[in-house]
Chain A
C-alpha cells in the first residue's frame, strides 16, 4: 500500500488524476462506505476489486454525481482541485465518463447518431449530418474500429456496442473513464480489441478505472489495484507487488484454501443422458449445431468449454425444448428415447436448465422469493389443485436454507437481491423439482467469489446424490477445476474431450478455436 503512495508522492500531488478522501455514505441505517480512500494516478489503469456489495458501485455513483454532493461525507479532488458534483451532468463536464454493464445506446439509431446523441453538430439550429458522419468516421478510424458509422447499433455485437460506448465517452473529452464489468458479455475477440483499446488510451494519457471480477484481466491490464471490502478500503498497491491469490484473499477477507472445492466422488456407469447425432437449425434454417453426440453419467460433472458463440447454450436450450428452430437426432434419458418439444416436457423428464442470463431467463424479478422458487414445482405445493401457502413457504424456506440464501425476507422481490443470491434462487427453483440432470449455463457469471464458492459446494453435494451435472462455462479455470470430464465445442461441433487429469488450458483452447489461429493471451480469468 505504502509503495503506491510513495511512487505517487515522489512526483508531487499533481500526478493524481483523482483522489477520493474519507468518503462515507449511509443508506438509512446501513453504512455502505466507511471512510474510503481511493486515489488514481494520471494515465494509469486502476482496477477496483471487491465482492458484490463491497461498495464499488456506490463509490462510482458518488464520483459520477448520481449521489450528489451533500449526500455523503468526504472530499473529491480532480487533478488536485476539490470538486462538488451536484448532478451527473456536472461530473460529465469535469471529464468523468462511466460505462455501465447495461449499455445506454439507442439500438435503432446508427453508430454516428449514437456517438453524438445530445451534442450534435448544428448549423443554425439544423443538424449537420455530414459533419456528424465525418467526425464519427474519424473517431472510429482513430480507435481502429472497422465499423461503418451508418450501421444501426442493434446490428453490432454486444462487444462492439461496448466499444462504441467508450468512443462516445471519448468524444465528450472524458479524461477519467470508468468501466464497470466491461467484459462480462464480450466474446474473446472483442475482449482483445477492448484490451488493445485500453492500452492505447493509456498511452494517450486517459485515466481509467476498471471494475472487474475477472482477475486475470486485472492482472494483465491494470497498473494498480484498490480492494474494497464491506465498504472499507482494504488495500491499494501496484500490480507488480500483488498476485491473483492475494487479491482474492483481501477481497473475501479470508484464505480460500482452494478456489474450486472439487471432491473426488464415485461416478456410476449408468448413462442418464445420451445425445446422438443431434443437430439444431435456427429459424432461418441455418445449421448451428452440427451432428453432436455425447453422454452424461449419473453423478458426473460434465464441463462444456468453448468460446462464446460456439453454440453451447443453443445446444442445451434446444435439448431443453426452449429453442425455436428445428432439430434432428436422438436423445435418450435413462436409456429411453424422448421427444422433448417444450420446456414442460423436459421438466417431466427430469431436466433442469439454469440459464446464463438469470435476469432474463431465470427469474421474474418483480415477484417475491417464494413465488419464484416454486414456479416450476407448483404441483409439489398444491393440494387438490389449490396452492397450499404454508407448504409453499415451508418448501422455499427449507431449500433456500440449504443454499445459504441471504435475504431480508422470503417476501422480498428477487430483483432487490445481489447476483449471487439471485443465482441461489434460480438453483433453488430447479432443485425443488429434484432433477436427474441439471444443466448449468455459466453458473457463476457476475457473482462474487464467496457466492461462487458456495455454488461449487452445492454442485458437489448434488453429484453425491446422483444428479448428473452439465456445466457450461467460459472460464477455463472453473471448467477445469470442477469437471470430471470436459467437452469442448467450436462452431457448433464437439471438437475435443478430456478427462479431468488430461485437461490443460492449452489443449482446451486449441480445440475451442477449432485449430484456427487465435490469440490466447487474453483468455484466462
Chain B
C-alpha cells in the first residue's frame, strides 16, 4: 500500500483502522507464501529454499505466471479465457514447426508465435466484444479449435529438436554481474521514484506518510531484491524465463495502474453500464484485453516449447485452469472489477511451490492435484470471509 490516505472531512481514528485493514488484506498472500515455504523447508531439511531449488521454482512458474498476467486483465474486465492452454500449445507448436521443419530463425518464429497469439486473441475478442457471445463460450470453442489446429498442423507428432538459440530462451541464465547491475538499477529507480513522488505530493499540499514508512518500504523491497539476486547468483544466476516474467509483470502493473486503458478495464468489470455512460468505449477495450491475452499466450508458448525443447500435441493442456487459479488465489474476483497482477504472480508462485515442494518430498503426483484444489477453495473462502 504505497498510496497514502488523503482525507476529506475525516475522522482520523477511523482512517487509521482502515489503512491497517487494507494492509493486512494485501499481506495475507505474502504470509501464505512464507508459510508454505517454511513448511516445505522443514520437510525437505532446508532444500526447498536452496539456491538451486529457488532457481528451478522460478523457472517452473514462468509459463503460468505469464498467462496469469494476461488472465488478470481478462477476469478484471469481467470475462474469462478458457482457450489459453490450447493457444500456448498452438503457438508453441507453430514456432517449433516453422523452425524444425522449415528452418526459420529463432527471432522470426518467436515473433510469429506472438503475432499469431495476438491475432487469435483478436478473433476471440471480436466475438466477445462485437458479437456479444459470452467469453466462456467463445473461449471454450477456442480451446477445442486451437487444439484441433495444433493436432492437424503437427500431424499428431512431437516436433523437435529446437535450435540452440531457441533453447536459450527458456533454459539460460543472466551472467552474475548483469544480474547484480539489474538489481541495483531497480533499487535506484525505486528510491528515485519515492523521492520524486513525495516531493510532488508535498508541493501539491497533499498528505504524505511519515518518511520512515516510505523509506522503510523502499529498504524492505531493496533488501528483498538483493536477497533474491544473491540466492539466484549462488546457482547459475537469474533464469531468463523469470526475468521475462518480472519484465512482463512490471509492464502490465504499470499499464493497469497508470494508463487510461488499465483504469477503464477495472471500470468496465466493475460496472459496465456506468463505464459506457462515462464515455468509455467498452468494445474496443475488451477487444484489446483479448489481443493482449493472445499475445501473452504466444510468449508462454515460446517459453514452454523452449524449456521442453519440443512441441507436443498436449502441450499446455489445462494451463488455463492453472492460470485462472493463480489469479483467484491472488485475490482477483471472478465477478470482475477487482484484482491485481502482483497477486496473480504470487498466486502462480504458490501453485508452483506446491508442485515443486511436494515432488521434492516424493509425494505421489495425484496429491498435488488434490492439495491445489483445496488451496483454491480455501483461498477464495478466506477472501470472502475477510470481507465480512
Contacts and interface: CB of A to CB of B under 8 A. Distances in A.
Given A410-B8, A411-B5, A390 B200 contact: yes
Which among B6, B8, B280 has the highest number of chain A CB atoms within 10 Å?
B8
Interface residues of B, number: 39
Contacts of A2: none
Nearest to B261: A385
A364 B271 contact: yes
Contacts of B260: 378-379, 382, 385, 387
A261 interface: no
Contact of A343 (B10, B266, B267, B276): B276
Interface string A332-372: 00000000001110110000010100001111111100010
A360 B206 contact: no
Interface residues of A, number: 46
Given A365-B271, A367-B266, A409-B15, A355 B277 contact: yes
B161 interface: no
Interface stretch (A127-135, A160-168, A400-408, A473-481): A400-408
A366 B358 CA distance: 38
A353 B277 contact: yes
A385 B259 contact: yes
Contact of A361 (B6, B270, B273, B280): B273
A382 B264 CA distance: 14
B131 interface: no
A405 to B, nearest CB: 5
A320 interface: yes
A397 interface: yes
Given A385-B259, A389-B3, A406-B9, A346 B15 contact: no
A269 B377 CA distance: 65
Contacts of B5: 409-411
B20 interface: no
Given A387-B257, A387-B258, A408-B14, A400 B3 contact: no
B263 A375 contact: yes
A316 to B, nearest CB: 11
Contacts of B10: 407-409
Contacts of A408: 10-11, 14-15, 18
A343 B270 contact: no
Contacts of A404: 9
B278 interface: yes
Interface of A: 29, 317, 320, 322, 342-344, 346-347, 353, 355, 360-367, 371, 375-376, 378-379, 382, 385-387, 389-391, 393-394, 397, 400-401, 404-412, 429
25 contacts: A29-B13, A317-B277, A322-B277, A344-B281, A347-B279, A364-B267, A367-B267, A371-B267, A375-B278, A385-B259, A386-B259, A387-B257, A389-B3, A390-B200, A391-B204, A397-B206, A407-B10, A408-B15, A409-B5, A409-B6, A409-B15, A409-B18, A410-B7, A410-B8, A411-B22
Interface of B: 3, 5-11, 13-15, 18, 22, 197, 200-201, 204-206, 257-260, 263, 266-267, 270-271, 273-281, 337-338
* 10 closest A-B pairs by CB: A364-B270, A344-B279, A343-B279, A347-B279, A364-B271, A409-B5, A376-B278, A394-B204, A390-B200, A378-B260
Given A360-B271, A360-B273, A375-B267, 18 more contacts: A342-B279, A344-B279, A353-B277, A363-B274, A365-B270, A375-B263, A375-B278, A379-B260, A387-B258, A389-B3, A390-B204, A397-B206, A401-B8, A405-B9, A408-B11, A409-B6, A409-B18, A429-B278
